Amino acid sequence: MVFLSDEEVRNILFKRGLIDETTYEEAEKDAKRLNLSTIEVLINRKIIDLDFFYNILAEELKVKRTQLKGANIPPSVLSLVPEKIAFEKRLIPFALENNVLKVAMVNPRDLETINLLEEISHYQVEPYLATPQEIQYALVNYQKLYKEEYERLLESEIPQAMALITESNVVRLVDNLLGYAISTNASDIHIEAL
């Protein structure tokens, strides 16, 4: 958790009575040796449960917690935040309700990013806390969005290419076909003559 210092994590754990001093100090030593944060060591060793910790963390930060497992995010919501920003800032928009864009974030304290999202989307942004793993899993929704766009493009390009077979139409058709294959993680492309 890059946005929280080890000291902040330590204070939360002790305040909530989740760990004793000795266990924390041992994890802290191992964290330095392994080049990890102390909380990562505690979670990896199952001393602290990841979901339980994130629920407590959300309470401490006074933000809502969301779990994105199995989330099917509407394309209209995804399109409000460019994929590049979502990947770079480790966030994903997941709902739009009453002109409020709900965004799951690894760092819901990142006011600069929240302001950027409000400027881009033209909606008020409500940050939610999510684990990095949940964000990574949910980012797959962008592939679905692009898959649908490529399917639509291919459907419109094929008739045009057949009607006006020019080099530029064929190149555009092949580009769209390859883009579609990439968006669906295809391993092969098979083309049959008509």
Distance from C-alpha of 18 to C-alpha of 15, rounded to nearest angstrom: 8
- Residue-level pLDDT, tens digit, the chain, 194 residues: 557 888 898 999 999 999 999 999 999 999 999 999 899 999 999 999 999 999 999 999 999 999 888 778 888 898 899 988 998 999 999 999 999 999 999 999 999 999 999 999 999 999 999 998 899 888 877 776 656 665 666 666 556 545 556 677 667 767 767 776 776 677 888 776 65
Give the pLDDT confidence score for residue 15 in this predicted structure. 92
Closest CA to 69 of 165, 135, 3, 150: 135
**Other residues' Cβ atoms within 10 Å of the Cβ of residue 182:** 13
